[in-house]
Chains A and B, each alone.
Chain A
């Protein structure tokens, strides 16, 4: 036999009140999930294209501080890099923004065009690999089905205009938007890229195969990336930057760090998350305090018959922990729903990783603990002598 589970029974005794309490905690959990979700989505989305690129080492213009900066580098550098021991392949990626006409509304929206030689394994996504032949046809492209709704229907067969030139959509892929992508992404062959961007008019930059935006290097298995990166840095002219793809000093980490350090996203959403946390503390405190106040004479009686403060402290803290668990579960489920919704509407990457779930649960737990610690003072001050002569 166990101890009578007083905390649990007190909490669930009044069903209606219990559901309201749970909803309160769930709401605080939802707030925290949403705000950290938006923050992470904005950060994660910046690197979703980069982390799909199939390369071990990246070469970019030294001035390309982030993906937003349209600085290209001389494609010669890629051929030079190819001469180094351990470099298996070097691929050029061309990136440009262009106006895309929504075929339904006839309004133009900027989108990002990613171009490369379809024979190069740059973006090894199954949908893309399956459309290699179609991409080689003139004036064709594939569209990101997670582009924002403003670009119109994101499906195969759409014929519209890109940079005032007719384009046919021959397939879709799934990537998602970020700060640099505008309203969505297109993938096309390098040949088509030339057709669209070689001669766009006097105000626009003329693109050619002489420059590339990102250079991808594949290395032969067994090569040490760090030594190769060092060798490339020493061997190549100083106008390019050589970075490993992954790792703390890598290209992906650098992009994420840029947005973390140069925008207010982190501050704003951390502030909002903290507010969700505080709202949670107040809500849970209210719930626990009401329980203590409603059962004041019963708790005082327990003290009178010989229960000590530690026991009552335990009861209130148990209530707090039970609330944190029971409120967290619905909060998590609703948040998952909102994450899907948010991803569908914005094209941003909303990831609900185990670590983030654990983090938010820890915050919920601490939130309930703080509330419990404040509410418990009421019980501890209870003077059992006052139960007499009421």
Chain B
């Protein structure tokens, strides 16, 4: 456990650029009364535009909780959490829904409606912006960017696992969000499809200048990250570049940790 606990503002882009996500002293609890249990301890973190950040950590470490807090899917109560310039702590449900519309979500399961074609699934996201006239064009455009132009009118049942996940990514990207949150996007995919998916995400992040925060256990894709954050027991354990991460997690010195990963 040699990794230093890095200060929250240093890694990645120069500090001058405004952070997409700015977390300060965030604590989070589940349950109430006697059953109240703290899952996140004093998290402070900055993520900058154009960065791909991978969050790792053993299960139960609070990764997913942190992801859902940043995604405005839970309401934070303690500390400060600024996402895309908006303070989330203390917001009501209705305002959280508004915030979520500016975030792209990619899940472990593709969660596509079987009854809708690939294009229609993507259009569901476009409709949130109120753009009904151009939705078909937008959906087809983004689907061709993820390499599925030919499959726009196929239903999910006629697509492979990798293709379905790419439709889900298209749905997350179609409104050009400044922030993309992904939860194990490659877990259900084979090696090649998983690689294709993250390469695609990397490519799009650079092109559109958006921030990607990804929770993953998949060691095969760590190299696409600009930063790797390690969360253990609700605390920020390390925040380093992939190279540092690889060194510090070299099998020789950290056999036990590899098991946890």
B136 interface contact, C-beta 8 A: yes
Q: Which residues of B contact A301 (CB under 8 A)?
A: 105, 107, 111
- Taking the nearest CB of chain B, how far is it from the CB of A388, in angstroms? 5
Q: Which residues of A contact B127 (CB under 8 A)?
A: 3-4
Which stretch, A6-14, A53-61, A327-335, touches the partner chain B?
A6-14
A305 interface contact, C-beta 8 A: yes
- Taking the nearest CB of chain A, how far is it from the CB of B215, in angstroms? 8
Residue of A6, A303, A308, A388 near B116 (CB, 8 A) is: A6
- Taking the nearest CB of chain A, how far is it from the CB of B20, in angstroms? 18
Q: Are A1 and B133 in contact (CB under 8 A)?
A: yes
Residue of A2, A12, A13, A297 near B111 (CB, 8 A) is: A297
Instruction: Give complex CA distance A64, B121 in Å.
Output: 72
Instruction: Give complex CA distance A190, B111 in Å.
Output: 82
Q: Are A9 and B111 in contact (CB under 8 A)?
A: no
Residue of B100, B104, B112, B132 near A298 (CB, 8 A) is: B112
Contacts A4-B120, A4-B124, A305-B128 given; indicate if A10 touches B115 (C-beta within 8 A): yes
Interface of chain B, helix or strand or loop or mixed?
A: mixed
- Taking the nearest CB of chain B, how far is it from the CB of A93, in angstroms? 65
Q: Which residues of A contact B97 (CB under 8 A)?
A: 303, 306-308
A123 interface contact, C-beta 8 A: no
Q: Are B109 and A297 in contact (CB under 8 A)?
A: yes
Residue of A1, A3, A9, A304 near B115 (CB, 8 A) is: A9
Q: Are B113 and A306 in contact (CB under 8 A)?
A: no
Q: Are B64 and A389 in contact (CB under 8 A)?
A: yes
Q: Which residues of A contact B109 (CB under 8 A)?
A: 297, 387, 390
Q: Which residues of B contact A388 (CB under 8 A)?
A: 64, 67-68, 71, 73, 107-108, 183
B125 interface contact, C-beta 8 A: yes
Which size bracket describes the interface of B in this complex? 35 or more
Q: Please, what's the 1-or-0 string for A1-39, where 1 marks a CB less than 8 Å from any CB in chain B?
A: 111101001101100000000000000000000000000
Q: Which residues of A contact B104 (CB under 8 A)?
A: 305
B74 interface contact, C-beta 8 A: yes
Contacts A4-B116, A10-B113, A13-B115 given; indicate if A385 touches B74 (C-beta within 8 A): yes
Which of B26-84 touch A at CB < 8 Å? 64, 67-68, 71, 73-74
Instruction: Give complex CA distance A9, B121 in Å.
Output: 12
Q: Are A304 and B135 in contact (CB under 8 A)?
A: no
Instruction: Give complex CA distance A317, B136 in Å.
Output: 26
- Taking the nearest CB of chain A, how far is it from the CB of B158, in angstroms? 13
A182 interface contact, C-beta 8 A: no
Q: Which residues of B contact A12 (CB under 8 A)?
A: 115
Q: Which residue of A lies closest to B137 (CB)?
A: A1
A378 interface contact, C-beta 8 A: no
B98 interface contact, C-beta 8 A: yes
Residue of B68, B98, B113, B132 near A2 (CB, 8 A) is: B132
Instruction: Give complex CA distance A390, B107 in Å.
Output: 9
Q: Which residue of B lies closest to A295 (CB)?
A: B113
Q: Which residues of A contact B113 (CB under 8 A)?
A: 6, 9-10, 295, 298
Q: Which residue of A lies closest to B59 (CB)?
A: A389
Instruction: Give complex CA distance A377, B35 in Å.
Output: 27
Instruction: Give complex CA distance A6, B114 in Å.
Output: 11
Q: Are B94 and A390 in contact (CB under 8 A)?
A: no
Q: Which of B64, B115, B127, B171 has the most CB of A within 10 A?
A: B115
Instruction: Give complex CA distance A389, B171 in Å.
Output: 19
Q: Which of A6, A302, A306, A383 has the most CB of B within 10 A?
A: A306
Q: Are B105 and A304 in contact (CB under 8 A)?
A: yes
Q: Are A13 and B98 in contact (CB under 8 A)?
A: no
Contacts A2-B132, A4-B123, A4-B124 given; indicate if A306 touches B111 (C-beta within 8 A): no
B101 interface contact, C-beta 8 A: yes
Q: Are A304 and B128 in contact (CB under 8 A)?
A: no
Instruction: Give complex CA distance A389, B216 in Å.
Output: 10
Contacts A1-B135, A388-B183 given; indicate if A306 touches B115 (C-beta within 8 A): no
Q: Which residue of A lies closest to B68 (CB)?
A: A385
- Taking the nearest CB of chain B, how far is it from the CB of A308, in angstroms? 5
Q: Are A305 and B105 in contact (CB under 8 A)?
A: yes
Q: Which residues of A contact B120 (CB under 8 A)?
A: 4, 9
Residue of A9, A306, A389 near B183 (CB, 8 A) is: A389
- Taking the nearest CB of chain A, how far is it from the CB of B31, in angstroms? 15
Instruction: Give complex CA distance A304, B96 in Å.
Output: 10
Q: Are A304 and B71 in contact (CB under 8 A)?
A: yes
A86 interface contact, C-beta 8 A: no
Instruction: Give complex CA distance A384, B181 in Å.
Output: 14
Which of A256-313 touch B at CB < 8 Å? 295, 297-298, 300-308
Instruction: Give complex CA distance A300, B73 in Å.
Output: 11
Q: Are A387 and B136 in contact (CB under 8 A)?
A: no
Q: Are B73 and A302 in contact (CB under 8 A)?
A: no
Q: Which residues of B contact A4 (CB under 8 A)?
A: 116, 120, 123-124, 127
- Taking the nearest CB of chain B, how far is it from the CB of A49, in angstroms? 56
Instruction: Give complex CA distance A293, B208 in Å.
Output: 37
Q: Are B111 and A384 in contact (CB under 8 A)?
A: no
Q: Are B116 and A305 in contact (CB under 8 A)?
A: no
- Taking the nearest CB of chain B, how far is it from the CB of A298, in angstroms? 5
- Taking the nearest CB of chain A, how far is it from the CB of B104, in angstroms? 8
Q: Are A1 and B136 in contact (CB under 8 A)?
A: yes
Q: Which residue of A lies closest to B101 (CB)?
A: A306
A positions within 8 Å CB-CB of B? 1-4, 6, 9-10, 12-13, 295, 297-298, 300-308, 383-385, 387-390
For the complex of A and B, the 3 pairs showing the least CB-CB separation, nearest first, are A13-B115, A306-B101, A389-B64
